Chain A
Amino acid sequence: MMTRLHIKLMLATAALAVGTGLAPAFAASNLTIESWRPDDLPIWQDTILPVFMKEHPDIKVTFAPSDSTQYDAAVRSKLQGGSAGDIITCRPFDASLALFKAGQLADVTSLPGMENFSPTAKVAWSTDDGKQAFCVPMASVLHGFIYNKDAFDKVGITAPPKTMDEFYADLDKIKADGTYIPLDLGTHDQWEAATMGYQNIGPNYWKGEEGRKALIAGTQKLTDPQWVAPFKELAKWKPYLADGFESQSDSDSTNLFQNGRAAIYPAGSWAITSFEKNPDLKMAAFPPPVAKAGDECYISDHVDIAMGINAASKNMEAAKTFMTWVASDEFAALYSNALPGFFSLSSHEVKVKDPIAQQFVAWRNSCKSTIRSTYQILSRGTPNLENDTWTASANVINGTQTPEAAAQKLQAGLDSWYKPAK
C-alpha cells in the first residue's frame, strides 16, 4: 500500500516536473483561435494560416472552431474556466463588450495596425465612448438579393428590379410561370426573417444611419411609419414563398437556391460561397429595391466579425504579433478573397476577385451603408430587441401578427427598459 502510494506520488511529481519544464518551449509558439465558423476551417488551415506561419516560423497557429449556435456560451464558460484559446473571434457589440468588461479580452487600442481601421469600422468593438478597442475588426457582411439568372431569363425579366413595385411585378411573373420558387425564404429559424427580411429592406425606409441613430437617441420610435413600412412589405411576401415555408430553415433555403430551384434569395453576402459550390448556377445580385424610383438607396453593411486576444493568454507576445498581422493589408486581401461575401473593414484598398462579391461591394459606392438597427445599445436589456425582432418578423411573414401590432410590441418592449439620453 505504502510503496504503491509512493510510486504514484513520484510519478506525479515527475510528470509535473516534465510538464513545467517543457511548457515554455511549447507555449511561446502555440496559438489557438476560437471561432464560430466551422465552415471556414479549410480556408484558415490551407490558405490563411500557412502564409502567417511562413513569415513567423516560431509561431504555430491552430484554428479551433465550435458550432455557431453554441459558440457564445462555450467561449464564455471556457474563458471563465481558463481553458479558452489565445485568440477569440469577437461577435459585434455587447457580447464582446461584456467579455472585455469582465477583463477576459485584452485591450488592443494601441496595437500596431489598429490605425488601419476607421472609427466606424471599430464601433462594434469599442467601448461606448470609443476610447478603448478590444478586437481587431475583420469583416462586414452585406445584405441584398441574389437571383438566379436562368429563372429571370425564362420569365423574361431583363433587368433586376430597382423599386419595390418592380420587385413585386417580377415576383408575380415568376409565380405565374411556376417553374421556380419566387422568393426563397423560410421562417422556421426566425432569424432569417429578421436578418434577411427586415434588416435587408429596412434601411431604405428608415434612411440607414439617420434612422438608426434617431432610434437610439429616442427621437424616432419603432411605431413610426418608416419603421413599420418594412414590416408592411414583409407581410406581402407570403404568397411568393415556397409551400410550407413556415418550417423551411435557412439551410433549406440555401439548398433550394443552390440547386437552382428558387429565383430570388434574400441574402446575406456570406451565402455566396455556398452557392458557388454549384458551378452550373448562374447568379447575380441586386441591392434592396427602393420605394420610389430615384430614392436614395441604403444597404446594410453590417460589421460582423473581429478578433481579440484572450487576456489570460500565456502567449501574449505571439498573440499580439498575430493580431498585428490580422490588421495588415496582406490579411485583408487574403481573407476577402478566400471568403467572398466577407468584406474587409480595413482602409486598405482591397481588390475583390469574386464576381458576385464585386457586385455586392460596389453598392458601397452607390448606396449609403448602415449597420443593423438593433445591434448597438438597443439590445442591452430585457426583452432583447434583436431577438424580439426575430419573432416579430417571422410572425409578420407568417401572417399571425399585423405589421402595426408587431411594431407596437417591439416598441413596448424597448420602452420597458430603454431610456434614451435626453
Chain B
Amino acid sequence: MADATSKQRKPIRWHIAVFLAPAVLIYSLLMIIPLLGTLQQSTMTGDITNRAFIGLGNFVTLFTDPRWSSGFWNAFRNNIYFFLINMLVQNPLGILLAALLSNPTLRLRGFYRTAIFIPTILSFVIVGFVWKLLLSPIWGVTPTIMKFFHAGQFFQPWLGKEQYALTTLSLISVWQYVGVPMMLVYAALLSIPDEVLEAAECDGITGMNQFWKIQLPLILPTLGIISILTFVGNFNAFDLVYVAQTAAAGPNFSTDLLGTFLYRTFFGMQLQQGDQNMGSAVATVMFLIILGGVCIYLFTVQNRLRRYQF
C-alpha cells in the first residue's frame, strides 16, 4: 500500500487553497492591510495633499518631546494600573465564582451564571451610562444607600476625583467582564473528570486542598489564556473611559488610557486637530506593546504549562 502511493505523483491539493482562501482574503482585507497601512502611515508626515516620509521621526517625537511623551507615559502608567486591577480583582473573582458555581449542591446555579455573565454582553455605552448614574452625587442611588447604612460620610464623587477615578473605572470594567473568566474557568473545572477528584479523596486530599492541589493545576492553561485575553483587552481599552469621562479623560488626565490618548491624537478633540500620522505612531506603539506582551507569554509561560489528557 505504502509502495503504491509513493509511486503515484501526488496531485496538487487545490482544495486546501480553496478552503483557506475566504478566510485568508477576508482577514487580509480587514486586518492585515489596514495594519500595514497604519505602520506605513506612522512613518509619514503632512496631510493628504503633501505627504513626506520621515522614517522614525514620529516615534522620536513621541518619546523625546516632553509635550508628547508626558501624555504618553501618563497613559501608559494608567493602562498598567488598569490592567493590574483587572488581573488582581477580576480574575481571582472569576475563579472564585466558577468554583462556587461548580459546587453541585448550589441551588439556582443557572440563574447566577446568567446574571453574572449578562454585563459582558451589554454595550459599553449602557454600562458607562448606568454606572455614571449609579455613582452620581446628584441623582445616584449610591449616596442614598450609603446614608441608609450610616456610611454617607464615606461617599465621594468617585468619578470626579483624581485619586479615585481610575480605580473606579477599573472596578466597573471588572464588574462588566468578570463573566468571561468565570465561564472559561467554569468550563475547565467541569472538564475535570470525577475519577481524578475521587482518587484524590482516597489519597486524603479533601476540601480546599483539593482545589489548590488538583483543580488549580488542571485549570492553569485556561488561566494563561484568560490572562492574555485580559492583557490584550485592557491595553486596547477605550470605550468605557470615553463613555464615562469623555475623550478628555478627566479629571486631569487621571483616567487617560492608551486608547483615549490614541483617540485624541488621531481624531483630535475640540480645538485640537487630529494628526493621523502621529496617531498611527501611537497605534503602532500600542500594537508593539501588545505584541510584546503576547510574545512573552507565548515563549515563556505557555511552554511551561503542562497539559493533562484524560
Contacts and interface: CB of A to CB of B under 8 A. Distances in A.
A175 interface: no
B276 to A, nearest CB: 9
Contacts of B47: 102
Contacts of A256: 138
B135 A247 contact: yes
Contact of A398 (B68, B156, B251): B251
Contacts of B157: 243-248
Which residue among A186, A188, A384 has the maximum number of chain B CB atoms within 10 Å of its CB?
Answer: A188
A252 interface: yes
Interface stretch (A68-76, A216-224, A320-328): A68-76
Contacts of B272: 379, 382, 384, 386-387
Contacts of B158: 247
B5 interface: no
Nearest to A103: B49
Nearest to A248: B138
B212 interface: no
A368 to B, nearest CB: 24
Nearest to B138: A252
Interface stretch (B34-42, B263-271, B295-303): B263-271
Contacts of A242: 137-138
Interface string B243-284: 001111011110000000000000111111110000000000
B137 A243 contact: yes
Contacts, number: 122
B48 A394 contact: no
B246 A189 contact: yes
Contacts of B271: 93-95, 374-375, 379, 384-387
Contacts of A374: 271
A400 interface: yes
A413 interface: yes
Nearest to A73: B267
Which residue among B135, B138, B252, B253 has the maximum number of chain A CB atoms within 10 Å of its CB?
Answer: B138
A244 B137 CA distance: 5
A190 B160 CA distance: 10
B268 A246 contact: no
A395 B254 CA distance: 12
A98 B275 CA distance: 12
B201 interface: no
Contact of A244 (B67, B160, B162, B252): B160
A187 interface: yes
A94 B273 contact: yes
B139 A246 contact: no
Nearest to A387: B272
B136 interface: yes
A76 B274 contact: yes
B251 A187 contact: yes
A391 B160 contact: no
B193 to A, nearest CB: 51
Nearest to A380: B273
A247 B248 contact: no
A234 to B, nearest CB: 15
Interface string B39-82: 00000000111000000000000000001100000000000000
A65 interface: no
A20 interface: no
B248 A390 contact: yes
Interface in A127-182: none
Nearest to B163: A400
Given A73-B267, A187-B251, A386-B271, A246 B67 contact: no
Contact of B137 (A189, A248, A379, A386): A248
B109 interface: no
Contact of A248 (B48, B160, B247, B267): B160
Contacts of A379: 271-272
Contacts of B162: 398, 400
Contacts of A382: 67-68, 272
A191 interface: yes
B185 interface: no
A124 to B, nearest CB: 12
B213 interface: no
A395 B67 contact: no
A416 interface: yes
Given A73-B267, A244-B157, A247-B158, A190 B250 contact: yes
A391 B247 CA distance: 12
Nearest to A390: B248
Closest 10 CB pairs of A and B: A244-B137, A246-B160, A247-B160, A244-B157, A247-B157, A73-B267, A384-B272, A379-B271, A386-B271, A247-B159
16 contacts: A73-B267, A73-B268, A102-B48, A242-B137, A246-B160, A246-B161, A247-B132, A247-B137, A248-B136, A248-B138, A387-B269, A391-B253, A398-B160, A400-B162, A400-B252, A417-B67
Given A385-B271, A386-B272, A398-B160, 18 more contacts: A188-B251, A189-B246, A189-B250, A190-B248, A190-B250, A242-B138, A244-B143, A248-B157, A248-B160, A252-B138, A383-B67, A384-B270, A387-B270, A387-B272, A390-B248, A391-B248, A400-B251, A401-B252
Interface of A: 69, 72-73, 76, 80, 93-95, 98, 102-103, 186-191, 242-249, 252, 256, 374-375, 379-380, 382-387, 390-391, 394-395, 398, 400-401, 413, 416-417
